[in-house]
Structure 1
């Protein structure tokens, strides 16, 4: 479920522009990686990042995504006169057969959506193992996920009204089937410090490691009700001096965050601590990722223990 407002179309366009500007600048700076390379761009979206790879010096790009996105990307790429150097396919990466062909660079422009990243991570692992040559480059090579607790009362009330109207009080156990929400965030909504949840090294992570647990600790920085856990996602690239995060303002109006509603309201006071564990469970039979948040609030106004389950894919 994704909340929309009257400006959602324009914001989505600005968001895509932000993503392409961010990765475009980084790819030009890292043009030595792309120069004369054959690039596999998975989850290519509208094709903008594939075209940026060509501008950075790539010899050829194979861009793949869903059929709908691939058709859109093909139109955009044709309009920009690059179809001779970019091939587009609408196919699941697991169904892709390249007859032994291996690529120099695996490109995937992750930016904001922690939920989609988690759900698609298994596809990236498959693409890496099947289609990237030994010594090939993954760009970006690492994804860092951080989280904080936020005040989001109006949205929290709207979400609960929707649950009760569409599911009903008798079926509240179905809350665990709720998906996290993509939405925009204002700095004043932040109630706690940010806590790093996990670093995903895309060179080394395996399918078996998709079932994992990560621990977090957040310190309350203002007195406010807490309704949700908000995650942010950073892409890291390797430079001669070491890893570099593709930095930008997470709280620009065009940057979307993945928000997990707790189902309760925590009345936090400054100096309180929220600790917990994020557990990831991948259901291979249904090809979906389940995320479970277990958390404990400790403050001078009391203690609370809770949890929430979310379907990612």
Structure 2
């Protein structure tokens, strides 16, 4: 393991491809695709099918930091939602739609392509919101809404490395197509950060393991294992650098602008103050919500 004092990173790739490569170790293609490039038909089917399974929705709802941040923002800023028409893009179980309805929204339109929408219909009825929340199955780009314009768009579109779940383009489409003048999209600002991580125990478990596997040498596996991303929660004590901000996404993002192509062109440096090895780069996506009245 070579001591490193400074790591410099140059990013010049498409956001979605970067995020997908980070998580899936897939090939990164160059080009000027949109923020969330169109999925191939088979990929799209797999993507939406995955959200028809209940486990992924249970995992998201049990993420208390994420779910309670949405809840607290909506409840503590109920004056924003009172008597407004709200569009929930990718509603899943309808949790955000119900937050908005409980905060006083006049009408909530919840759209989702996956089969979970049928469960959301039952959930909405069970909680007494069937007269406030309308649920529509389909892609936001293809469905017909019962209104021409909405006052607010909410969406829980963030995924691994912020952009991996391929929904940002849908949110931008909904904004450009349905948001009334003076309307709002929440969340309206997101950041992507990188930080260096060094964890000796995990390193040994993941890499040294291959030196002796039930009495057999499999060290050649290390070359295959090292490039693969690991999605997990890391202990704060394993961080060996300051977080490095590499991109900020704003509500004003224009799908047709050069900026919306989301090329990461920043030359970012992570300075390591202690002489140690860098096990991996850990991504941190920050979506700040104000829980104070706006």
Match of 2:76 in 1: 29
Sort the Cα spacing of 1:10 and 1:100 in 2 relative to 1 into closer, same or farther, 3 A.
Answer: closer
User: Alpha carbons of 1:13 and 1:203: their partners in 2 closer, same or farther (altered >3 Å)?
Assistant: closer
Aligned equivalent of 1:245:
none
Greater relative contact order (CA < 8 Å, ≥ 6 in sequence): 2
Tell me if structure 1 keeps the 8 A contact 2:73–2:291. Answer: no
Q: Which has the higher strand share?
A: 1
Quote the Cα distance in structure 2 between the aligned partners of 1:16 and 1:235: 14
8 Å CA contact retained: 1:147, 1:231: yes
Distance 2:208 2:122 in 1: 40
1:120 aligns with 2:167: yes
Please name the residue that 2:3 is paired with: none
Distance change in 2, residues 1:93/1:152 (3 Å):
farther
RMSD value over aligned CA atoms?
A: 3.7
Q: Deviations over 1:271-306 (max 9, x none)?
A: xxxxxxxxxxxxxxxxxxxxxxxxxxxxxxxxxxxx
Partner of 2:111: 64
- Mapped partners of 2:165, 2:256: distance in 1: 12
Could you tell me which runs of 5 or more consecutive residues in structure 1 were left unpaired when the two chains were aligned.
Answer: 3-7, 163-168, 243-313
Give me the TM-score of the superposition, normalised by structure 2. Answer: 0.64
Correspondence for 2:284? 232
Question: Equivalent residues in 2 for 1:163-174 (5 A)?
Answer: none
Q: Distance in 1 between matches of 2:122 and 2:293?
A: 39
**Counterparts of 2:61 and 2:140 in 1: how far apart (Å)?**
28
Give the CA deviation at 1:146. 1.6
The reply to whether residue 101 of structure 1 matches residue 148 of structure 2 is yes
Equivalent in 240, 253, 265 of residue 204 of structure 1? 253
Residue 232 of structure 1 deviates from its aligned partner by 1.6
Q: CA shift at 1:143, angstroms? A: 1.0
Please state whether the residue corresponding to 2:245 is helix, strand or coil. strand
TM-score scaled to structure 1, two decimals?
0.61
| Kept in 2: contact 1:40–1:62 (CA 8 A) | yes
| Aligned residues of 1:143 and 1:236 also touching (Cα < 8 A) | yes
Counterpart position of 2:239: 190
Question: Would the aligned equivalents of 2:87 and 2:109 in 1 still touch at CA under 8 Å?
Answer: yes
Please, which runs of 5 or more residues in structure 2 have no aligned partner?
Answer: 1-22, 25-54, 211-219
Looking at structure 2, the residues matched to 31 and 43 of structure 1 have their Cα atoms a distance apart, in angstroms, of 21
- Preserved contact between residue 37 and residue 60 of structure 1 (Cα < 8 Å): yes
Change (3 A) 1:137 1:11: closer
Deviation at 1:16, TM superposition (A): 3.2
- SS of match in other structure, 2:267: strand
State the SS of the aligned residue for 2:246. Answer: strand
After superposition, the Cα gap between the structure-2 partners of 1:224 and 1:61, relative to the gap in structure 1 and judged at 3 Å, is farther
Distance 1:41 1:23 in 2: 12
Write the distance in 1 (CA, Å) between the matches of 2:233 and 2:255.
Answer: 32
CA deviation after TM superposition for structure 1 residue 227, in Å: 2.8
8 Å Cα contact 2:72-2:291 kept in structure 1: no
Question: 1:251-289, CA deviations, whole angstroms, 9 ceiling, x for partnerless residues?
Answer: xxxxxxxxxxxxxxxxxxxxxxxxxxxxxxxxxxxxxxx
- SS of residue paired to 2:70: helix
